[in-house]
Amino acid sequence: MMGPFCNEPMTDFSLADNRRLLETALDDIKKTYGQLYPLLIGGREIVPENMKHSINPARHGETLGVVAQADRKRAAESVDIAAAAFEHWKRVDPAARARTLYKAAALLRRRKHEFSAWLVAEAGKTWVEADGDTAEAIDFLEYYGREAERLCVPQPLVRIPGEDNEWTYVPLGVGIVIPPWNFPLAIMAGMTASAVVAGNTVVLKPASATPVVAARFVRLMHEAGLPEDVIQFVPGSGGEIGDVLIDHPLTRFVSFTGSMEVGLRIVERAARLQPGQRWIKRVIAELGGKDAIVVDRDADLAAASLGIVQSAFGYAGQKCSACSRAIIHADVYEEVTERVTALTKRLTIGDPALHGTDVGPVIDRAAYNKIRQYVTAGKQQGRLLTGGGMDDGAGYFVEPTIIADVDSQASLAQDEIFGPVLACIRADDFGHALAIANDTPYGLTGAVYSNRRERLELARDLFHVGNLYFNRKCTGALVGVHPFGGFNLSGTDSKAGGPDYLIQFMQGKVVSERM
Ligand code: NAD
Please answer whether residues 73 and 51 qualify as being in contact, where contact means their C-beta atoms are separated by less than 8 angstroms. no
Ligand 1: does its nearest atom lie under 6 Å from the Cβ of 181?
Answer: yes
How many whole angstroms separate alpha carbon 24 and alpha carbon 120? Answer: 13
Amino acid at residue number 415? D
Amino acid at residue number 73? K
Q: For the segment 111-143, what is each residue's pLDDT rounded down to a tens digit?
A: 999 999 999 999 999 999 999 999 999 999 999
CA–centroid distance, residue 336 to ligand 1 (Å): 33
Residue nearest to atom 8 of ligand 1 (CA): 207
CA angle centred on 332, ends 328 and 334, rounded to 5°:
90
- Write out the DSSP string of 339-406: HHHHHHHTPPBS-TTSTT--B---S-HHHHHHHHHHHHHHHHHSEEEE---EE-SSS-EE--EEEES-
Instruction: Work out the percent of the chain whose per-residue pLDDT is above 70.
Output: 100
Ligand 1: does its nearest atom lie under 6 Å from the Cβ of 178?
Answer: yes
Please answer whether residues 324 and 336 qualify as being in contact, where contact means their C-beta atoms are separated by less than 8 angstroms. no
Is the pLDDT assigned to residue 265 strictly greater than 80?
yes
Tell me the mean pLDDT in the region 29-35: 98
Tell me the mean pLDDT in the region 141-155: 97
Q: What is the mean pLDDT of the chain?
A: 98
**What pLDDT, on a 0 to 100 scale, did the predictor assign at position 342?**
98
How many whole angstroms separate alpha carbon 422 and alpha carbon 308? Answer: 9
Ligand 1: does its nearest atom lie under 6 Å from the Cβ of 180?
Answer: yes
What pTM was estimated for this model as a whole?
Answer: 0.98
Top mutation candidate among 187, 192, 259 for ligand 1, by most atoms within 8 Å of CB: 259
- Write out the DSSP string of 112-179: HHHHHHHHHHHH---HHHHHHHHHHHHHHHHHHHHHHHHHSSPBP----TTEEEEEEEEE-SEEEEE-
Q: For the segment 301-343, what is each residue's pLDDT rounded down to a tens digit?
A: 999 999 999 999 999 999 999 999 999 999 999 999 999 999 9
Q: What are the strands of the beta sheet with 201-204, ordered from one edge?
A: 44-46, 39-41, 231-233, 201-204, 174-178, 251-257, 282-286
Top mutation candidate among 78, 176, 178, 442 for ligand 1, by most atoms within 8 Å of CB: 178
Ligand 1: does its nearest atom lie under 6 Å from the Cβ of 287?
Answer: yes
Alpha carbon of 150 to those of 157, 185, 235: distances in Å? Answer: 15, 25, 33
Please answer whether residues 483 and 454 qualify as being in contact, where contact means their C-beta atoms are separated by less than 8 angstroms. no
Tell me the mean pLDDT in the region 241-254: 98
**What pLDDT, on a 0 to 100 scale, did the predictor assign at position 2?**
86
Ligand 1: does its nearest atom lie under 6 Å from the Cβ of 289?
Answer: yes
Ligand 1: does its nearest atom lie under 6 Å from the Cβ of 169?
Answer: no
CA–centroid distance, residue 317 to ligand 1 (Å): 15
Q: How confident is the model at residue 358 (pLDDT cuts 50, 70, 90)?
A: very high
Query: Which stretch of DSSP H or E encloses residue 252?
Result: strand 251-257
First to last CA, the chain: 32
Please answer whether residues 287 and 260 qualify as being in contact, where contact means their C-beta atoms are separated by less than 8 angstroms. yes
Q: For the segment 68-109, what is each residue's pLDDT rounded down to a tens digit?
A: 999 999 999 999 999 999 999 999 999 999 999 999 999 999
Q: Could you give the 3-state DSSP secondary structure of residue 206?
A: coil
Tell me the mean pLDDT in the region 353-379: 98
CA–centroid distance, residue 239 to ligand 1 (Å): 12
Q: How confident is the model at residue 391 (pLDDT cuts 50, 70, 90)?
A: very high
Ligand 1: does its nearest atom lie under 6 Å from the Cβ of 208?
Answer: yes
Ligand 1: does its nearest atom lie under 6 Å from the Cβ of 238?
Answer: yes
Please name the residues in contact with 68: beta carbons below 8 A apart, sequence gap of 6 or more. Answer: 36, 37, 38, 39, 46, 47, 48, 50, 51, 235
Is 424 a catalytic site residue?
no
- Write out the DSSP string of 278-331: -SPPEEEEE----EEEEE-TTS-HHHHHHHHHHHHHGGGG-STT-EEEEEEEGG
Is 6 a catalytic site residue?
no
Alpha carbon of 24 to those of 10, 30, 239, 387: distances in Å? Answer: 18, 10, 38, 33
Tell me the mean pLDDT in the region 461-489: 98
CA–centroid distance, residue 181 to ligand 1 (Å): 7
Ligand 1: does its nearest atom lie under 6 Å from the Cβ of 207?
Answer: yes
Residue nearest to atom 30 of ligand 1 (CA): 258
Ligand 1: does its nearest atom lie under 6 Å from the Cβ of 419?
Answer: no
- Could you identify the atom of ligand 1 that is nearest to the CA of residue 418? 31
Q: Could you give the 3-state DSSP secondary structure of residue 97?
A: helix
Please answer whether residues 495 and 485 qualify as being in contact, where contact means their C-beta atoms are separated by less than 8 angstroms. yes
Secondary structure of 438-486 in HEC code, one letter for each residue: HCCCCCCEEEEECCCHHHHHHHHHHCCCCEEEECCCCCCCCCCCCCECC
Instruction: Work out the percent of the chain whose per-residue pLDDT is above 90.
Output: 99
How many whole angstroms separate alpha carbon 257 and alpha carbon 260? Answer: 9
Q: What are the strands of the beta sheet with 401-404, ordered from one edge?
A: 383-386, 401-404, 421-427, 323-329, 291-295, 445-449, 467-470
How many whole angstroms separate alpha carbon 502 and alpha carbon 43? Answer: 25
From the candidates 320, 323, 424, 474, give the one annotated as an active-site residue: 320
**What pLDDT, on a 0 to 100 scale, did the predictor assign at position 411?**
98
Top mutation candidate among 287, 368, 474 for ligand 1, by most atoms within 8 Å of CB: 287
Top mutation candidate among 129, 234, 320, 442 for ligand 1, by most atoms within 8 Å of CB: 320
Is the pLDDT assigned to residue 52 strictly greater than 80?
yes
**What pLDDT, on a 0 to 100 scale, did the predictor assign at position 228?**
98
From the candidates 286, 323, 399, 416, give the one annotated as an active-site residue: 286
How many whole angstroms separate alpha carbon 366 and alpha carbon 378? Answer: 18
Alpha carbon of 173 to those of 32, 190, 340, 456: distances in Å? Answer: 35, 18, 49, 44
Is the pLDDT assigned to residue 1 strictly greater than 80?
no
Tell me the mean pLDDT in the region 17-34: 98
How many whole angstroms separate alpha carbon 227 and alpha carbon 211? Answer: 21
| Residue 136 backbone class (left: φ over 0; alpha: ψ -120 to 50; beta: rest) | alpha
Q: Which residue, among 346, 322, 268, 248, has the nearest Cα to 474 in the 3D structure?
A: 322
Q: How confident is the model at residue 29 (pLDDT cuts 50, 70, 90)?
A: very high
